[in-house]
Structure 1
Amino acid sequence: MKDVPGIRLQGYDTRWHEWLSQMYGVPVALIGRMTAMRSERLYRMVRRWYVTEWCNVGRIDYETPGSWRRSFFDAPDAEPNGPLWVWPTREASWGMLDFDPGEWEPKATTAAHLTAIAHLRYVLTGLETDPDVWTSERILRRRIEPGFHIHDGWLLDEDDYDKIWGIEVELSRKFGSGRLAKNIAAALESAAHHNLAGVQYFVRGEELRRAVARSANYLAREQGLDLSNLHIHDLDATLARREEA
């Protein structure tokens, strides 16, 4: 981290530093949506992180038109295209995670999924960084034995601290050769192996919710699985309900 005259990072900055290190990174606009922070304050905060060199800021080009506002982070001769993302550097994440996470930068192919997971985590647990409350996928990759499904996160049950749930976020239907059913079976198997309470699916849209339910019922019939430990939620309804609370 670079010392910059006139800039002193506060505890709030450190909390975000740890949270983002666990979650890889997020769109800058998502921080504003989650916190209801005014744009001027939001960009001042992210600029503070950027000039002290603990984070990268860059755009993800989805190759689709959009109304993108120029910012401090754009080169003077660059045409802004795509949303701005912020993600801690490898060294900064290493300091927060206590392991070398390797190089990472956001990609258009995974951006929507990572955004949804980060948003869900924030509405469920806020800016809590205790990995026993929410264990991020990045941390799980260091813990889970090879061959087992890695959930999008593990969540401590706020009503029963003896229970931990595997969290899965699905944004679109997976087609082909029973792929969705296989993913559900793998998620449940991994949850059972790691003594979790079960799996909570957060899905986008009624069509996908029905598809997950059909696949789960198929597994129950064909493999005799007990689905009492599988819960399916509407992702957007969950986010909206928590944001309005």
Structure 2
Amino acid sequence: MSDPDIRLQPWETLIEEFSCQQYGMSFDTLIKAAGRGAKAAYKVAKRLKKTGRAHVLRVDYGSSGPWRNSKTFDEPDVVPHGPLWIYPTREIAWGYLEFDPGEWEPKASTAAHLTAVTELRLALTGLETNPQAWTSERLLRRWLKTDTGRPDVHIHDAWFRDFTDPDKVWAIEVELSRKFGDGRLQRTMTAALEAAERNDLAGVLYFVRGDSVRKAVKGVATRIAHQRNLDHLPNFEIHDLDATLVRKGVR
């Protein structure tokens, strides 16, 4: 249980709510989100963990680092592999989200993707937590749940309200690596487009990492367009993820 006497500063509350919507975040992302330097970010992480509001876990997903032992969050004899993550407890997330999200902890298989999506969110909407501006995957899974307890459509990485045209809401997809074999990429992209159309969205914005992923996504988009007897998809855009992060000062 959390300490009832803790008093969070407004910026800490904002970070906590943001983290609940995004499942959690790596410490590197926390530092960027807080915008107050590494010392302040580590201090709030230590306080949230100590008072039982958040968990801290090291997640090894193959990134080379370098990683240094944390006197606060690692055992003294542990050789660290992978970044530290902070994520709210089920109780705290429940309070912010207003539904029981169940138990969750970061996994090596999805940590890199979640990090990219969260950094993109910071780049596009900052720490805005209004779900009408940015609807996270975690919220979409709740909103689109059917009587079976599961969504019956593809769940996008997020929905994003276009600040240049507030009447438009775009689906966000982040692609970090090539999907090989058995038409996996085409199936995923087709499902993403169909889900956007079914929910009356403006279309799908694909943020990709690297030239090979861009070429693959562009090629599949052309193929899908031709299957629809179109020269191109009018509701589909490809953007460079890392260029976006650099331009917006997140990288």
* TM-score (ref. length: structure 2): 0.91
Pairwise CA RMSD of aligned residues? 1.8
Are the structure 2 counterparts of residues 189 and 31 from structure 1 closer, same or farther at C-alpha, using a change threshold of 3 Å? same
User: How far, CA to CA, are the matches of 2:76 and 2:167 in structure 1?
Assistant: 54
Please identify which structure carries the higher helix content: 1
Q: Which residue of 1 aligns with 2:242?
A: 236
Q: Which residue of 2 aligns with 1:24?
A: 23
Name stretches of at least 5 consecutive residues in structure 1 with no aligned partner: none
Please state how far the C-alpha of 1:61 moved relative to its aligned partner.
Answer: 2.2
Please state how far the C-alpha of 1:167 moved relative to its aligned partner.
Answer: 0.2
Please state how far the C-alpha of 1:81 moved relative to its aligned partner.
Answer: 2.4
Are the structure 2 counterparts of residues 66 and 26 from structure 1 closer, same or farther at C-alpha, using a change threshold of 3 Å? same
Are the structure 2 counterparts of residues 35 and 206 from structure 1 closer, same or farther at C-alpha, using a change threshold of 3 Å? farther
Q: Which moved more, 1:45-54 or 1:33-42?
A: 33-42
3-state SS of the aligned residue for 1:228? coil
Q: Which residue of 1 aligns with 2:43?
A: 44
Query: Partner amino acid for 1:150?
Result: I
Q: Which residue of 1 aligns with 2:197?
A: 192
Are the structure 2 counterparts of residues 196 and 18 from structure 1 closer, same or farther at C-alpha, using a change threshold of 3 Å? same
Name stretches of at least 5 consecutive residues in structure 2 with no aligned partner: none
3-state SS of the aligned residue for 1:174? coil
User: How far, CA to CA, are the matches of 2:62 and 2:167 in structure 1?
Assistant: 46
Please state how far the C-alpha of 1:63 moved relative to its aligned partner.
Answer: 5.5
* Equivalent runs, 1:71-220 vs 2, <5 Å: 71=70, 72-144=72-144, 145=146, 146-220=151-225
For residues 214-236 of structure 1, give each alpha carbon's deviation from its aligned partner in whole angstroms, at most 9, with x where no partner exists: 10100111233561110100000
Are the structure 2 counterparts of residues 30 and 224 from structure 1 closer, same or farther at C-alpha, using a change threshold of 3 Å? same
Contact in 1 for aligned 2:61/2:112 (Cα 8 Å): no
User: How far, CA to CA, are the matches of 1:126 and 1:99 in structure 2?
Assistant: 24
User: How far, CA to CA, are the matches of 1:182 and 1:108 in structure 2?
Assistant: 24
Please state how far the C-alpha of 1:76 moved relative to its aligned partner.
Answer: 3.1
How many residues are matched?
A: 243
